[in-house]
Amino acid sequence: METIKKTQLFNASCVALVVTALAFATRGSFVQAWATEFNLTHTEVGWIVGTAFWGFTLAMVFGGPLVDIIGLGRIISIAFFCHVAGIILTIIATGFWTLFISTLLIGIANGSVEAACNPLITSMYTDQKTRRLNRFHAWFPTGIVIGGLVVFFFNKSGLADWRYSMGIMLLPTFVYGYMFLNKEFPKTERVVSGFTYKDMLKACVSPLFIFMALSMILTAGTELGTNQWIAALLANVSSNPILLLVWISGIMALARQFGGSLIHNMKSTIVLLTSSILAFIGCILMGYTSGAMVFASAGVFALGVAFFWPSMLGFVSENIPQSGALGLAIMGGIGFLGGAIAQPVLGAIFDSQTLAAIPAGQTVEALKSAVAGTQEAAAWAAAQLTGGEHTLRYVAFVPAVLIISFAFLHVWKRKHV
């Protein structure tokens, strides 16, 4: 293990995760541009964007079992080449299929980063898994902050072409590729511990693992679903709603970067239960506050979801070590699946709540086509804001379920320790 350069491998993993986050953060701003430039319907654009989630899940499901067979380094190589190919193909895209394939490649790259880096970190830092996973995953919201600010800067400076934002992603991609180059990778913790492949498969169908996998759908749905929609749900709160996502992501990044040491000495079940309570309170507050108070409410929500993803992975790695790299891959893949499921559900709730908020005697078509500055345009903006606020109140139901689930998990753990 002396030849394994832990710090360099950890830092390279963080840069690779930034690329994953940049793709997540900037993609939402490309939707209308792609629809207009390539004459695509919003349904077609929806298929393109959704491909990133499915590509991620695909890479996690297939990459997880292969980690022990072909090695961590080869999975990282797949991530690097798919990132480069996906980004370049997106920049030179000519229509639906090139965008579809390029987004799929980026999704596979993002999933490969998670499939390799999570077991890499738990294998290098066996005595501080949750702490290190929190510090590693701090770079996902950090990347979202960077991506959001890049889009904001380009739009303000007149460089609104989405290709500029896409091209920026090549810089950290080549950086992490160089940082990983010719590095020796450790064997995974499962291999070192002597657990067989059969042990790993058996652990991944145990009742505790299934419980955590189902909970991962809800925790990830709360985080990824809400964050992907937050700018749209509260678009009329700020003239630059993308800054609300930047605010949430910034708090999450700081919490994961500096809060990992704090929660390292806390029971993971307490961390997950507290996170659920804060996420619930944050959703409720965002659904009932306005103006500057929305940012304060969003701060509470951010603290709630900040520790969800890394603490879920840390719990599985610490309490079901036999599940190995496959267990972490399944958890990550199911997490992104939860994020994918949340997208259309949130959209449908938003549509129905906005429709319900339209004043009597008015129609959606008339309000949507109203000229800016008219009474009808103001009514449409008010209806959308009300719809967004009510949607967040519905979202609060998910962390409410998690409060009950993690309270049960905490009691169960105390009885079985």
**DSSP character string of 114-138:** HHHHHHHHHHH-TTSHHHHHHHHHT
CB 176 within 8 A of CB 169: no
Mean pLDDT of 328-342: 84
Cα 199 vs. chain centroid, distance in angstroms? 30
Identify the domain boundary among 194, 229, 263.
194
| pLDDT beyond 90 at 274 | yes
> Each residue of 345-354: pLDDT tens digit?
887 888 888 8
| pLDDT beyond 60 at 315 | yes
231 and 375 together in one domain: yes
359 and 325 together in one domain: yes
Average predicted confidence (pLDDT) for the chain: 85
Tally of structural domains, the chain = 2
177 and 275 together in one domain: no
**CA-based R_g, the chain, Å:** 21
> Each residue of 217-264: pLDDT tens digit?
999 989 888 877 776 667 666 556 667 878 898 999 899 888 766 666
270 and 365 together in one domain: yes
Q: Choose from 54-68, 86-100, 127-141, 230-244 the range with maximum mean pLDDT.
A: 86-100
Domain boundaries, position 403: 198-417
Q: Where residue 2 falls among pLDDT bands split at 50, 70, 90? A: low
Q: Where residue 41 falls among pLDDT bands split at 50, 70, 90? A: confident
207 and 185 together in one domain: no
Q: Where residue 282 falls among pLDDT bands split at 50, 70, 90? A: very high
Identify the domain boundary among 194, 220, 254.
194
> Each residue of 53-69: pLDDT tens digit?
788 888 887 887 788 78
Which range (93-102, 106-115, 233-242, 283-292) has the least confidence? 233-242
Identify the domain boundary among 194, 222, 257.
194
75 and 216 together in one domain: no
CB 328 within 8 A of CB 118: yes
- The interaxial angle of helices 42-70 and 96-124, nearest 10 deg, is 40
The confidence score (pLDDT) of residue 272 equals: 94
Concatenated DSSP letters of 155-202: HHHT---HHHHHHHTHHHHHHHHHHHTT---PPPHHHHHT--HHHHHH
CA gap 75, 137 in Å, rounded: 19
Tokens of 396: 């609060």
Amino acid occupying residue 303: L
Q: Where residue 144 falls among pLDDT bands split at 50, 70, 90? A: confident
The confidence score (pLDDT) of residue 11 equals: 94
Which residue intervals of 265-357 are DSSP H helices? 268-288, 293-306, 308-319, 324-356
31 and 142 together in one domain: yes
232 and 149 together in one domain: no
The confidence score (pLDDT) of residue 241 equals: 66
Q: Where residue 362 falls among pLDDT bands split at 50, 70, 90? A: confident
374 burial level (CB within 10 Å; 0-12, 13-18, 19+): exposed
330 and 217 together in one domain: yes
> Each residue of 157-183: pLDDT tens digit?
777 678 888 898 999 999 999 999 988
Half-sphere exposure of 258 (CA within 13 A, CB side): 6
Domain harbouring 103, CATH code = 1.20.1250.20
CB 27 within 8 A of CB 86: no
Q: Report percent pLDDT > 90 for the chain.
A: 34
Mean pLDDT of 380-384: 82
91 and 150 together in one domain: yes
109 and 213 together in one domain: no
323 and 202 together in one domain: yes
Q: Where residue 1 falls among pLDDT bands split at 50, 70, 90? A: very low
